[in-house]
Structure 1
Amino acid sequence: MNLRCFVSNTKEITDSISPSDRSSNLCPRVLGIQWHSVADNFKLDVNMDTTGFISKRTIAQQIASIYDPLGWFIPLMIKAKHFQQLLWKEHYEWDETLCETHKQQWISIVNELSGFEKSVSRCITRSTVSNTLVTYCDASSLAMTVCTYLTSEEDFNFLMGKSKLTDIRRLTTIPKMEMNAVTIGARLTLNVSLSLKSSISISKVIILTDSEVALKWLKCSQQRQTTGLYIKNRVREVHKVFRLLEDMDVEVFFGYIDTRWNPADVGTRVH
């Protein structure tokens, strides 16, 4: 097999490749994401269609068509996912035509999303010595969202986000959802740390939430916990993550951040 269609972000490497083996496409898709090799950045875009039949099935297909493994589109897609959840509340069948009101709501959502474009640098850090992971957590009656950034003296870059809509089948208090968001944030922080440890030095991890209640639960010793099993299990899991990170020689801190400065907040609200 003759390997060909090579592309590189480095001019010296590109020049060393035979012209017959180079790719004519300078913006190939890498693992489903469009990569601009010259600028060395990823191109993000959203294009959704409102023509044709609109049902719960076609809306689910449209939402699933937005490939977002790193959570870049979470603030953008939260409104569409919330609308999809509304259709379940209204007990629509999969191929049932939406009422005119809901149809117009969906068209309005798609019109807001379509045409969105943004470029994100592929490079996440230039520091090879010491980097810090900062994870922000937030929750509302709509969703729980977390996002992780890699910081150093030179850089501050978004790495990954996670979001989960609240369960429409049961009512849960906001403090419990905030604690759940911290748990999701701890899991994400551990997974990112494990993924990066072979190539990027992580010396410190900081997990921040704007919920003082969740912080109080975390700081209270498990022997003195008077909360229910739901909270105890999540506090236990978060502390387990902290111990695993410390075993990797990573300093772990958790603390409070004002809602106004919490970037995870934008993924918990319909704007």
Structure 2
Amino acid sequence: MQTDRKPDVYIMKVVTFGDKPAPAMAQLALRMTAEAAEATHPKAAQVLKESVYMDDICDSVREASEAEQLTSEIDQVLQEGGFKVKGWTSNEALKGESKKEGETRILEAALEDKVLGIAWDNQQDMFFYKVKETVPSSPNDGKNEESLLTKRKVLSRIARIFDPIGFAAPVLVRAKIGMQQLWQRGYDWDELLPSDQQKWWVTFLKEMQDLNNVKYERCLTPPMAIGQPTLCIFADASEVAFGVCVYLQWKLEDGKYAVRFVLAKSRVAPLKKITVPRLELQAAVMAARVYTTVMKELRLQPESVIFMTDSMIALSWIRSEGRRFKPFVAARIGEIQSHTNPAQWKYVPGELNPADDVSRGLPVKKLSERWKQGPAFLYRPKEEWPSEKAVPDTETEVESERRKINHISAKQNDVIDVKKFSSWRKLIRVTAYVLKFVEKLKAARWIRSDDNVDPDERCLSTAQLQKAERFLIKEAQSTLHQRVKNGDFKTLSPFVDKGGNYQSRWTARQGSDIL
């Protein structure tokens, strides 16, 4: 054994799959490859940096020739980095695809459940679901415990459907509501559910298999579309859930309109019960957040953006100043107004709001109706959309959330109670002494010993008595300011003298300074 020899150093030239850092290393190598090619192939580098999910490259272009050039550049860039592309799949035939037809078919079968968990029919250019669900037997059939459902099994089956776009949100929100009810009833994870719950979940899981028949368009731009689309975002809430859905309205060359589903999102209402108007406001917050995400990812530039809700109370809050309301409402109004313009928010009747489907739930068979196609009024010009109407009894609910400010006024007690004096002369002298005492405190001239006090200082001067008299008159007239402004004493011709007291022309001539 050569203990004095330096050890040999070996470097792995490929990623060893199974190691914990392997995924991060692969993504880092891919990003470095893209950055190295930014100067020579900028479009390919941008796609590799922004449109790669795991080991899939997902991108969309308008023309087949552009797709052919882009795939060729990506192949070249990846080859320089040591990556090998197994094949391309497109909704239109590309040059070179026919040579790999057998390989491509195998890849299509393998990738059905890999592209964001959604299968893609490239012939029709449609997304669809592929649900492989083993529905347990009915609880009435032998009652085999292995086939009966628990909370853990139910959650496991629901989680198998990955729906990032949210097209199945009206169906899955029913499952979320059902899971929340199981949680409220306190069932353990491995506790068998009662027979009524078993029946409901077995029926629901069977219905979920009908998602295999659901398809929706991948492309957001319909044929013959002209101009830029209108982005329409709907929000709604019920006592059990709230959610939003997004559509694009396009104008076609023949003057008609087409609608495309973009995105949807749902959440169950919190266990701590809150009012429906607050849930409607929470749905509006979700709409603002979804809008931010859509605008970040959408390559199209909408002509206009319109938010719609069927809650006049939430609409009134959004159009108001947030600081006037309680913290719950104020914080959410602030977030909404920071991402959207209150002028973009419109009212839509509840029966025409497609977000009502995601807040209450839909059976699978109804997904292809209004939920997929969008509300009927989107197929008409904006001038023919529902107009906003005043809804009664909303002001009470709006005011209930308004911040209440209590004004506290402290009444200052007079140091000298004039009611205790029967002599005007005595009242003036006491007031003069009090004012003299206050002056000494302000001037810090208080003398503790009487030995050095000038006898004249112990007596009141004429000026001090006059000052005390003017002070008492001014205090007595303090309540007359508004009345003088209102003209209650016009006949007396009041004016303000040098001391700040009111006098009348007549009393001034008579030598009195009391109004």
2:119 and 2:130 in contact (8 A); partners too: no
Aligned pair 1:5/2:87, yes or no? yes
How do residues 151-170 of structure 1 correspond to structure 2 at under 5 angstroms? Answer: 151-154=249-252, 155-168=258-271, 170=272
Unaligned runs of 5+ in 2: 1-82, 137-146, 253-257, 363-515
Bigger Rg, structure 1 or 2:
2
Q: Work out whether residues 116 and 164 of structure 2, in 8 Å CA contact, stay in contact via their aligned partners in 1.
A: no
Alpha-carbon RMSD across the aligned residues, in angstroms, is 2.1
Give TM-score scaled by structure 2 length: 0.47
> What is the match of residue 144 of structure 1?
242
Cα offset for 1:18?
2.4
Aligned to 2:25: none
**Larger % of strand: which?**
1
Within a 5 Å distance, the mapping from 1:114-193 to structure 2 comes to: 114-116=209-211, 117-126=213-222, 127=225, 129-154=227-252, 155-168=258-271, 170-193=272-295
> In structure 1, what is the Cα distance between the partners aligned to 2:251 and 2:305?
15
- 2 CA distance for matches of 1:262 and 1:45? 29
Q: In structure 1, which of residues 251, 254, 257 is the aligned counterpart of residue 348 of structure 2?
A: 257
Partner of 1:19: 100
Distance 1:267 1:222 in 2: 28
Q: Distance in 2 between matches of 1:178 and 1:70?
A: 22
Identity among equivalent positions (%) equals 28
User: What are the superposed Cα offsets for residues 80-125 of structure 1, whole Å, 9 maximum, x if unpaired?
Assistant: 2211111101111111111222111211222232223211111111
1:208 partnered with 2:293? no
Asked if the contact 2:237–2:283 (Cα under 8 Å) also holds between the matched residues in 1, the reply is: yes
1:31 and 2:134 equivalent? no
Secondary structure of 2:128's match?
Answer: strand
Q: 1:231 offset after TM fit, Å?
A: 0.6
1:70-89 matches, within 5 Å, as 70-89=165-184
CA distance in 2, matches of 1:183, 1:128: 31
1:247 aligns to what?
A: none
Cα deviation, residue 189, structure 1: 1.0
* CA apart distance, 1:65: 0.6
**Cross-structure match for 1:50:** 135
Question: How many angstroms apart in 2 are the aligned matches of 1:50 and 1:129?
Answer: 48
Would the alpha carbon gap of residues 99 and 21 (structure 1) be closer, same or farther in structure 2, given more than 3 Å must change? closer
| Structure-2 separation of matches of 1:135 and 1:105 | 32
Of the structure 1 ranges 81-90 and 113-122, higher mean CA displacement relative to structure 2 is found in 113-122
Supply the distance in 2 between the matched residues of 1:9 and 1:237 (Cα, whole angstroms): 41
Q: Which amino acid aligns with 2:195?
A: E
1:129-174 per-residue CA deviation (whole Å, 9 max, x = no partner) reads: 4122100000000100100111221331110001010011x11000
Q: Which residue number corresponds to residue 333 of structure 2? A: 235
Q: Match of 1:267, as an amino acid?
A: V
Aligned mates of 2:343, 2:95 — CA distance in 1: 42
After superposition, the Cα gap between the structure-2 partners of 1:14 and 1:62, relative to the gap in structure 1 and judged at 3 Å, is farther
In 2, the alpha carbon distance for the partners of 1:47 and 1:217 equals 45
Is 2:239–2:276's contact at 8 Å kept on the other side of the alignment? Answer: yes
Q: Could you say which structure has the greater relative contact order, defined with CA pairs below 8 angstroms and 6 or more residues apart?
A: 1
Q: CA deviation at 1:3?
A: 2.6
Cα gap change, 1:209 to 1:20, in 2 (>3 Å):
closer
Render the CA deviation track for 1:56-77: whole Å, top value 9, x for unaligned. Answer: 1111111111110011111112
C-alpha distance in structure 1 between counterparts of 2:285 and 2:192, whole Å: 39
Distance 2:293 2:361 in 1: 28
Kindly tell me: are residues 2 and 92 of structure 1, through their superposed partners in 2, closer, same or farther at Cα, counting changes over 3 Å?
A: same
**Does the 8 Å CA contact 2:227/2:251 hold for their aligned counterparts?**
no
Given residue 273 of structure 2, which amino acid in structure 1 is its aligned partner?
L
User: For the Cα contact (< 8 Å) 1:48–1:114, is it kept in 2?
Assistant: yes
Stretches of 4+ aligned residues off by more than 4 angstroms: 14-17
**TM-score under structure 1 normalisation?**
0.88
1:219 aligns with 2:314: no
1 CA distance for matches of 2:97 and 2:179?
A: 50
Question: Tell me, which stretches of 5 or more residues in structure 1 are unaligned?
Answer: 244-250
1: distance between equivalents of 2:348 and 2:293?
Answer: 23
Is structure 2 residue 174 aligned with structure 1 residue 96? no
Question: What secondary structure does 1:18 align onto?
Answer: helix
Give 1:4's aligned amino acid: K
Structure 1 Cα separation of the partners of residues 292 and 201 of structure 2: 37
